Amino acid sequence: MVNTKVSLCGIELDNPIIPASGTFGYGAEFAKLYDIDCLGTFSFKGTTREPRFGNPTPRIAEAPGGMLNSVGLQNPGIDHVIEHELPEMKRYFHKPVMANVSGFSVEEFAEVCGRLDTCEQVGWLEVNISCPNVHGGGMSFGTDAKMAARVTSAVKRATRKPVLMKLSPNVTDIAEIARACADAGADGISLINTLMGMRIDPRRRAPILANRTGGLSGGAVFPIALRMVWQVYEVVDVPIVGLGGVRSAEDAIEMMLAGATAVEVGAENLVNPFACRNIVNELPAAMEKYGIRDLNEIIGGAH
């Protein structure tokens, strides 16, 4: 038998596979397809203080090796999440869940995290300072080390739950941002979010996305994500959640060898709704193939 259990910021996961925020909703649709308790956990839809309709449509465009999205943090707001989504979630998911939080000011990040601090179901707060699709929001926080540290410090003062700072790859030095967050008290680092990109319609001679640009995700970004996880592992002493283009159990093992303790799966959920279940099921055989008895032994094992 192999051991797939890992500990993320002091909370044990049955396996390291986590559907990424924005690709799994609140889990309800997927729970109709399979028992999502097989997952390590999942990161639910990014939540802001107020309800958000998101960006105008079209919001999605295909791209070689992936897709572009410009959804714009559409969500029902923190009040609705606490009053409706979390109670509903108790019916179909029976493990601690990861709450993804976004904001447009340091105060908003802290307020939303403070509200979630009292929610027993929430195990971790994944603080998204990296979303590239909303003007005047996450981009500025996630690309400046001092601002990233300010958000981290404010959130840590507002909650006792483990805080994972989700970083943008659209920076010159990802290690600098990660180090600033860790130094400010982050319990973990989550990376990467999407890469900025665009598509143009030759017939209309105009951008396909109404927002012009969007975030690129999918298999094409995997080597970039892997490289950044590697770089961040070299400079921080907190757990890393690796994500970006993960599509298989072998991809997850690569992420862990680069330094990830747990691995999120994003765009692949939109291609195949059973993707995470399949990766969980395939992980033991992949471990056997490479002579891995315990996943904890390979975290950072390629360094």
Provide the CATH number for the domain around residue 187: 3.20.20.70
188 within some domain: yes
* Domain range for 54: 6-298
207 within some domain: yes
303 within some domain: no
159 within some domain: yes
Closest CA to 301 of 229, 246, 248: 229
Q: What is the pTM of this model?
A: 0.96
Enzyme catalytic residues: 131
Dihedral over Cα of 104, 108, 109, 113: its sign: negative
Total of domains in the chain = 1
Provide the residue-wise pLDDT of the chain in tens; the chain has 303 residues.
999 999 999 999 999 999 999 999 999 999 999 999 999 999 999 999 999 999 999 999 999 999 999 999 999 999 999 999 999 999 999 999 999 999 988 999 999 999 999 999 999 999 999 754 344 444 568 898 999 999 999 999 999 999 999 999 999 999 999 999 999 999 999 999 999 999 999 999 999 999 999 999 999 999 999 999 999 999 999 999 999 999 999 999 999 999 999 999 999 999 999 999 999 999 999 999 999 999 999 999 999
Tell me how far apart the alpha carbons of residues 241 and 22 are, in angstroms, rounded to a whole number. 16
92 within some domain: yes
Closest CA to 303 of 248, 240, 256, 251: 256
1 within some domain: no
